[in-house]
Copies of this chain bind each other. A is one copy, B any other.
Amino acid sequence: MQKFFIEEAYFNDLTLPEDLIYQAYKVLRYKTDDKFIIGVKEENYLVKIKNISLKELKYEIVEKLDINNELDLYVTIIQGYPKGDKFEDIIKHGTELGASYFIPLIMDRTQFKMDDKRQENKLIRFNKIVKEASEQSFRNIVPKVLSFSYLNNIDLSCYDAIFVCYEEEAKNGKLQGLKNVLKELKSKSNIAFIIGPEGGISDKEINYLKNIKNTYFISLGKRILRTETAPLYCLSAVSYERELK
């Protein structure tokens, strides 16, 4: 069943914003009595269409749904900004896998040439991708893509654990850290994964991170993962550890 995230004002009027009315009428071809799910302020409602046209849509509430599809940890993916459109794939699939926040990180080895205007447009686009992925994957909330940042501009003190994915660990065969910490974390903890861009994390950045509290250098198995695969491993690991009994 289709899910739409909407602002509270539309829900109070038992309608949808204009673009979603268009989508419901023209793309999904909804008719009177068709049902869909509304996500509003982290709550979910099953609703039924009372009347629909290209200009107007009214629904009634069938029931409030008691579903929670969120991870029990708040996970931030701090992603060294990769080449091409890879960041879009990361946030799309990362949303399906339960991330709460994404931070596109300009690191020493990021090849980055975007002026402020372009960054602003990108962020609008990123947040649209994340909203659609949230609807498709039945998230309770829509994750946020935060502004492009530099490592030393991020307040890392707000995280209960910061996992730095460092491929040298994998090459050296040190396979520990992530599992032990994930098992022990209290529900509702804030955690972050820091993932380097294509060239990896620089020595300077590693040294900076070594001085941050609650930082763990982890490996993601024995093989060398691409920068766009690593965050999906991290999020799958969180789900596997915390959701599968």
Which residues from chain A sit less than 8 Å from chain B, CB to CB? 68-71, 93, 96-98, 136-139, 175-176, 178-179, 219-226, 228-229, 232-233, 236-237, 239-241, 243-245
Taking a contact as CB atoms closer than 8 A, the residue among B69, B176, B236, B240 that contacts A179 in the complex is B240
Residues of chain B contacted by A175 (CB below 8 angstroms): 243-245
Q: How far is the CA of A240 from the CA of B239 in the complex (A)?
A: 11
Pairwise interchain contact A241-B240, C-beta atoms closer than 8 A: yes
Using known A-B contacts A229-B232, A232-B229, A232-B232, determine if residue A222 contacts B237 with beta carbons closer than 8 Å: no
Task: Classify the interface of chain A: helix, strand, loop or mixed.
Answer: loop
Interchain CB contact (< 8 A) of A236 among B176, B222, B236, B245: B236
Contact: A96 with B237, CB < 8 Å?
no
Do the beta carbons of A221 and B97 come within 8 Å of each other? yes
Q: How many copies does the complex hold?
A: 2
When C-beta atoms are compared, the residue in chain B nearest to A69 turns out to be B222
Instruction: State the Cβ distance, A71 to closest chain B Cβ, in Å.
Output: 8
B240 and A97 within 8 A (CB): no
Among A93, A137, A236, A245: residue with most chain B CB under 10 A: A236
- List B contacts of A176 (CB < 8 A): 244-245
- Of the A-B pairs whose beta carbons lie under 8 Å apart in the complex, a sample of 30, sorted by A's number, is A68-B222, A69-B222, A70-B222, A71-B222, A93-B229, A93-B232, A96-B223, A96-B224, A96-B225, A96-B226, A97-B233, A98-B222, A136-B224, A136-B226, A137-B223, A137-B226, A138-B223, A139-B223, A176-B245, A178-B240, A179-B244, A179-B245, A219-B244, A220-B239, A221-B236, A221-B244, A229-B232, A233-B236, A237-B237, A237-B240
In Å, the complex CA distance between A176 and B245 comes to 5
Identify the 7 closest CB pairs spanning chains A and B, nearest first. A221-B239, A236-B236, A233-B236, A69-B222, A137-B223, A237-B240, A179-B244
Shortest beta-carbon distance from A70 to chain B in Å: 7
Q: Which residues of B contact A96 (CB under 8 A)?
A: 223-226, 229
Complex interface: chain B residues within 8 A of A223 (CB)? 69, 96-98, 137-139
